[in-house]
Amino acid sequence: MLHTITVLVENEFGVLSRVAGLFSGRGFNIDSLSVAPTNEETLSRMTIVTRGDDQILEQITKQLNKLIDVIKVIDFTDGSAIEREMALIKVTAEDVSRAEVLRIVDIFRAKIIDVTPKSYTIEATGAPAKIDAILELLRPLGLKELVRTGPVAIGRGAKGWKG
Amino acid sequence: MKMNGARILLECLKLEGVETVFGYPGGTVINLYDELFSFKAIRHILPRHEQAGVHAADGYARATGKVGVAIATSGPGATNTITGIATAYMDSIPLVIITGQVPTALIGNDAFQEVDIIGITRPCTKHNFLVKDVKDLATIVKKAFYIARSGRPGPVLIDLPKDVQIATTEFSYPESVDIRGYKPTVEGHPRQIEKAVSMILASRKPLIYVGGGVVLANGAEELTDLARKLGVPVTTTLMGLGSFPENDPLSVGLLGMHGTYCANMAVTNCDLLVAVGARFDDRVTGKIATFAPHAKIIHVDVDPTSIKKNVRVDLPIVGDVKGVLSRMLKVAAEQSAKVKAFAKDLAPWRGEIEAWRVKHPLGYKSSTSVIKPQLVIQKLRELSDPDAIVATDVGQHQMWTAQFFQFNKPRTLLSSGGLGTMGYGLPAAMGAQAAFPKRQVMVICGDGGFQMNMQEIATLVQNRLPVKIVILNNNFLGMVRQWQELFFDKRYSQTCMELPIDFVKLAEAFGAKGLRATKPAEVESVIKEGFKIPGPVIMEFKIAREEKVLPMVPAGASLNEMVLNA
């Protein structure tokens, strides 16, 4: 089962390698990982999408917590969070397909951010499932290049956590 | 007061109570060694290899309970420490390792003797630090010692670039440190502890399974007290040996791959297993699916990741083992009548275990013509001081020591359990002897492992460390040979150490003494004479070449599927 884990870490060099090394060293999967500093500059926040049964997920959270540079770990899988991901998509757009690409972009409230006579580059944001959906529609038209950020997640409600 | 980084490091070590360090100089620590030259508060011991330096610091730490300290230069000096660090990491031994590093401006440039030791040691340290500014140095050293000794202990590495050793700043040592990402749970949950006592009192066939965590937490006294009050039998892992006296009738000895028949049968038949400071290693459990099949499991450990890692647990208690055990004692004391009745009611269970012990006791076929290794171990126990410290290497001799020496006090056995590091024993004994110059310290090793760090005899002689080196010589890499005999059709691929080394002459070449026994009748006199000689001694015993360690649970088999005679 897919899990979205948010990890609050010290904003120091080497922390990313500690976290990534923990996953590779213990044979845990990483589907995606995104990391950037938070509103407090000494902290960074990672969003990791991983998979495994309950026992593996328990080990992943415990092992992450064991790292000295990790301050807090939350497993958001219970639906208590909103997830968003961005994709930049370069797609073939010639003749008739130009209009079709525009229609799809419109339906998904995405944006065209670069245009050439032969292609469009699209910026799409949304839950990972939405990105999957737009890709499914664009793929038959000719996907030239794709880059996804992996999701970031934030808890629902008024309460914020900083660590 | 303004000081350079090198001096600051030494002042910090002094304030941490460090008296002895093991280190090897080199280009990027030359400034540190220059400061050390006139710094009298710390005794420095020069091993002949950085790996041995770390093992010595490890032996020092295991024997004393204090943090061991080792120093190495950058590059090859640093990489040579890796085996020592990984050994300590697997057995949760508190160490602080200081490595020199090329100047900060050169880091990443493939400079001379540069290696990314922070990257290399990330998976085998509890934590590591690269010091980039001399102003951070004192705080980092404070943090390193705190992390190394608290929670589940472990090695911490500080990488110290040459220019940081030279740079100066105002020195002040912080009284304490607060690390927001590191708050180990020390206090066991009181309700869980009460529940644990109730679960024990409700059981009919309980067994306490003790690991190295009890030794590390200095909880041997509480454990012994609790087991005796409850009348519950105790089995120990290799790392747990010494935390419960093996001469106590409640001791069922070692469990696992080379455990006693009665210990492994007790595990297989118990209805409650109380694991204390143990981590259910594969050498202990055998086949997980059939491990303690009838038992509920209580698991006490300071490290939450150890719990439910390998086996299901019915009642987890995260906390310092010593504290949890003394709390359990209190809870038990509040219902002493019930506890007394319970201990009495366990008589049939203890009888069942006794019957297993009588059925297949630990033993060996004695001989009058050839020296049996088990005899040497038994004689060593008989003729040594009760508080003697024994280091072992890794292999057959290690298991024979665990089976036959009989450890009654904690911190008297130093052995590489988790990593199984050949070459560990001699330098570990050296570290223990440096900590306790007056105590009897011996290392029991095989001819294979001894040769991996035998250069350290020079360190022993130079520093007047009177370690007694016992070599059980079978001219084989015995444990691998045993596996080849049992599982590979006696195809002894590369396990025969064909060159007959004259270990007596070797000892003499280093300025030590050498003794040799080739017949059973000589065993006792050699040991007696060896223990009498004031300096380091090699005692070589030419043992039965194809003697096996038994019983043995083949890898992947269940604990009750022991090979008893083969």
B305–A contact, CB cutoff 8 A = yes
Interchain CB contact of A20 with B (< 8 Å) = no
> B305 vs A163: CB contact, 8 Å cut-off?
no
- Using a CB–CB cutoff of 8 Å, tell me whether B156 touches chain A: no
Determine which helix (DSSP H) or strand (DSSP E) holds B55, and give its type and residue range.
helix B50-64
Indicate the average pLDDT of chain A. 94
Extract the tokens encoding B1: 């007061």
Q: Is the pLDDT of residue A78 over 80?
A: no
Q: Do B303 and A66 touch (CB under 8 A)?
A: yes
Best of A63, A66, A73, A161 to disrupt the B interface (most B CBs within 10 Å) is A66
Instruction: For residue B180, count CB atoms less than 10 angstroms from its CB and return exposed for 0-12, middle for 13-18, buried for 19 or more.
Output: middle
- Residue B246: CB atoms within 10 A of its CB come to 16
**Which of B126, B143, B162, B468 is the catalytic position?**
B162
Q: B214 — alpha (psi -120 to 50), left (phi > 0) or beta?
A: alpha
**What pLDDT digit, counting tens, does each position of A35-50 carry?**
999 999 999 999 999 9
Question: Which residues of B fall within a CB distance of 8 Å from A163?
Answer: 180
Picking from B119, B127, B308, the nearest residue to A55 by CB comes out as B308
pLDDT band at A160 (very low <50, low <70, confident <90, very high): confident
Q: Quickly state the pLDDT bin for A162 (edges 50, 70, 90).
A: low
Contact (Cβ atoms closer than 8 angstroms) between residue B94 and residue B154: yes
Chain A closest CA to B177's CA: distance in Å? Answer: 13
**Which residues are bridge partners to B20 per DSSP?**
B43
Distance CA(B147)–CA(B141), nearest Å, equals 10
Strands ordered across the beta sheet of B251-254: B251-254, B234-236, B206-210, B272-276, B296-301, B315-318
Query: Which DSSP helix (H) or strand (E) runs through B23?
Result: strand B20-23
All residues of chain B having their beta carbon less than 8 Å from the beta carbon of residue A21 are 122-123
Report which DSSP code applies to B41: T
DSSP state of B382: H
CA distance A148 to B140: 38
Please give the Cα distance from B516 to A112 (Å, whole number).
Answer: 86
Distance separating alpha carbons of residues B177 and B69, to the nearest angstrom: 20
H or E element: which one contains B203? none
Distance of alpha carbon B316 from alpha carbon B185, whole angstroms: 13
Of B422, B479, B539, B552, the active-site residue reads B479
Confidence check: pLDDT of A163 > 60? no
| Contacts B308 to A, Cβ<8 Å | 55, 58-59
CA–CA distance from B113 to each of B32, B73, B77, B535 (Å)? 17, 9, 9, 37
Tell whether B330 is within 8 A of chain A (Cβ). Answer: no
Per-residue pLDDT tens digits for B315-369: 999 999 999 999 999 999 999 999 999 999 999 999 999 999 999 999 999 999 9
B304 closest CB neighbour out of A18, A62, A69 = A62
Residue B32, C-beta contacts closer than 8 angstroms, at least 6 positions apart:
B6, B9, B10, B71, B98, B100, B160, B165
Q: Is-catalytic flag, B162? A: yes
For every residue of B432-452, DSSP letters joined together read HHHH-TTS-EEEEEEHHHHHH
Establish whether B112 is a catalytic residue: yes
Helix ranges restricted to H, B217-295: 220-230, 261-269, 282-285
Nearest to A58 among B118, B123, B308 (CB): B308
Instruction: Express the helix, strand and coil content of chain B in percent, nearest 5 each.
Output: 45, 15, 40
The alpha carbon of residue A78 is apart from the nearest alpha carbon of chain B, in Å, by 22
Does B184 contact A at CB distance below 8 Å? Answer: no
Q: B546 an active-site residue?
A: no
Cα–Cα distance, B30 to A65 (Å, whole number): 38
The CA distance from B450 to the nearest CA of chain A, in Å, is: 31
* Residue of chain A nearest B313, judged by CA positions: A55
Q: Report the gap between the CA of A91 and the closest CA in chain B (Å).
A: 40
Name residues of chain B where pLDDT drops below 50.
Answer: none
Cα separation of B17 and B342, whole Å?
Answer: 46
Backbone angles phi, psi at B253, to 5 degrees: 85, -165
What does the pLDDT read at residue B134? 98
> Distance (Å, rounded) from C-alpha B210 to C-alpha B92?
15
**A112 at the B interface (CB within 8 A)?**
no
CB B555 within 8 A of CB B288: no
Tens digits of per-residue pLDDT, B67-77? 999 999 999 99
Q: What share of chain A is helix, strand, coil (3-state, %, to 5)?
A: 30, 40, 30
